[in-house]
Amino acid sequence: DAGITQSPRHKVTETGTPVTLRCHQTENHRYMYWYRQDPGHGLRLIHYSYGVKDTDKGEVSDGYSVSRSKTEDFLLTLESATSSQTSVYFCAISESGGSRYEQYFGPGTRLTVT
Amino acid sequence: AQSVTQPDIHITVSEGASLELRCNYSYGATPYLFWYVQSPGQGLQLLLKYFSGDTLVQGIKGFEAEFKRSQSSFNLRKPSVHWSDAAEYFCAVAVSKMRFGAGTRLTVKP
């Protein structure tokens, strides 16, 4: 895992509570991504960022928001967690230009919503 | 619709046997193509990538993949599987955004 950390690594929370997951990189890469991984679905893109304060939606963005105030940090927030958001969440990073699609992944955060 | 298909959910091979994992995609243009591997409880590790040029690409851990435009495929191969190759393998395709297949779980028999 090339200079990418995620916190927390495990979290159990109750339905209706807000949750924030953090991704931190030391590679100074421009792009950062949040994915969720569920059995039978592979990884699905939630949101991504192409620079500080620049973000865009992925294919499963409903119920999630993101923020990026510094190059190295990308936060994913579940405003009001639901059981359908129980999943493993992965952060990824990539450089700009021709390497933009070459993504490197963090270790993941396992989130359980009860 | 754009899609990435890994037809095999689970494959079992004997140690030392050859391996081929299939990946097909449906995109209007030729996308960038990737294979990732995920060991249990771990993140994804990039095995290899195809952007352009030679359609046979070499990756880490002795893996290779061949891009076949006419078949819209990017199959992953390894001539001799080791027990440590047991993991889940994901094909990924990128045009404007990355899209992943559902994954193939590989079991290696001793």
**pLDDT at residue A71 tops 80:** yes
Q: Are A19 and A78 in contact (CB under 8 A)?
A: yes
pLDDT of A29: 94
Q: With a cut of 70, which residues of chain B have pLDDT below it? A: none
Q: Where are the domains of chain A?
A: 4-113
A88 touches chain B (CB under 8 A): no
A38 touches chain B (CB under 8 A): no
Q: How confident is the model at residue A2 (pLDDT cuts 50, 70, 90)?
A: low
Q: Is A101 in contact with B42 (Cβ distance < 8 A)?
A: no
Q: What is the pLDDT of residue B59?
A: 96
Three-state SS at B83: helix
Distance from CA of B90 to the nearest CA of A (A): 7
Number of domains making up chain B = 1
Q: Which CATH class is domain A4-113?
A: mainly beta
Under a CB-based contact definition with an 8 Å cutoff, are residues A82 and A15 in contact? yes
Determine the pLDDT at residue A41. 87
Is A98's pLDDT higher than 80? no
Nearest C-alpha of chain A: how many angstroms from B42? 6
Distance CA A3, CA B10 (A): 31
> For residue A1, is pLDDT > 70?
no
Contact between B46 and B32 (Cβ < 8 Å): no
Stretch A16-28: mean pLDDT: 97
CATH code for position B68: 2.60.40.10
Lowest mean pLDDT, pick from A57-61, A90-94, B18-22, B97-101: B97-101
